[in-house]
Structure 1
Amino acid sequence: MKMLKKFFVLFLVMSLSAGVLLSLPFALRQGISATAVRAFSYGILAGFIMILVFMGFYFVANRLTPSEQRDLLQRRELLITGGLPRILDQCYQLLKSERFVKRADLDEGQGIITAKTRFSWACPGEKITIQFSAEDGRSRIVITSQPLWRTTMVDYGKNFKNVEALQKLFRDRLGTTPL
Structure 2
Amino acid sequence: MKYVKVFLFSSILFGVAMGLLFTLLGEDGVSSGIVAGLFFGLFMTVVLGITDFVSGKKLGGKGSKGVHQQDDLSLHVGIEDAFERCKQSLTLLKDVEIKEENKQEGSLVAHTGATWKTFGEVVNIQLREEDFTVTHIHIESRPLAKQTLIDYGKNYENVKTIRDSLEPKANTELSSS
Aligned to 1:128: 123
Q: What residue is the counterpart of 1:171 in the other structure?
A: 167
Tell me whether 1:73 sits opposite 2:63 in the alignment.
Answer: no
Q: Output the CA distance in 2 between the equivalents of 1:149 and 1:110.
A: 26
8 Å contact kept, 1:101–1:118: yes
CA distance in 2, matches of 1:98, 1:160: 14
Residues 140 and 76 (structure 1 numbering): CA distance in 2 closer, same or farther, change over 3 Å? Answer: same
After superposition, the CA RMSD in angstroms is 2.6
Residue 12 of structure 2 aligns with an amino acid whose one-letter code is L
**What are the ranges of 5 or more consecutive residues in structure 2 without an aligned counterpart?**
none
Q: Runs of 5+ in structure 1 lacking a partner?
A: 27-34
- CA–CA distance in 1 between the matches of 2:88 and 2:53? 37
Specify the structure having the higher radius of gyration (Cα).
Answer: 1
After TM superposition, give the deviation of residue 49 of structure 1 in Å: 2.1
Query: How many residue pairs are counted as aligned between the two chains?
Result: 166
Matched position secondary structure for 1:70: coil
Distance 1:68 1:167, change over 3 A: farther
User: TM-score, normalized by length of structure 2?
Assistant: 0.76
Asked whether the equivalents of residues 6 and 151 of structure 1 are also in contact (C-alpha less than 8 Å), the reply is no
C-alpha distance 81-10 of structure 1, shift in aligned 2 (>3 A): same
- 1:151 alignment counterpart: 147
Partner of 1:115: 110
1:3 CA displacement: 4.0
Q: Which amino acid aligns with 1:102?
A: V
Identity %: 25
Equivalent AA in structure 2 for residue 177 of structure 1: N
More helix by share: 1
CA distance in 2, matches of 1:8, 1:114: 33
Q: Which moved more, 1:152-161 or 1:72-81?
A: 152-161
2:115 and 2:171 mapped to 1: Cα distance?
30
Q: Determine the C-alpha separation between the residues in 1 that align with 2:30 and 2:75.
A: 59
Cα–Cα, structure 1 residues 98 and 62, in superposed 2: closer, same or farther, change >3 Å?
A: closer
- 2:81 aligned with 1:86: yes
Tell me what 1:98 maps to.
92
Taking structure 1 as the reference length, the TM-score comes to: 0.76
Distance 2:117 2:131 in 1: 40
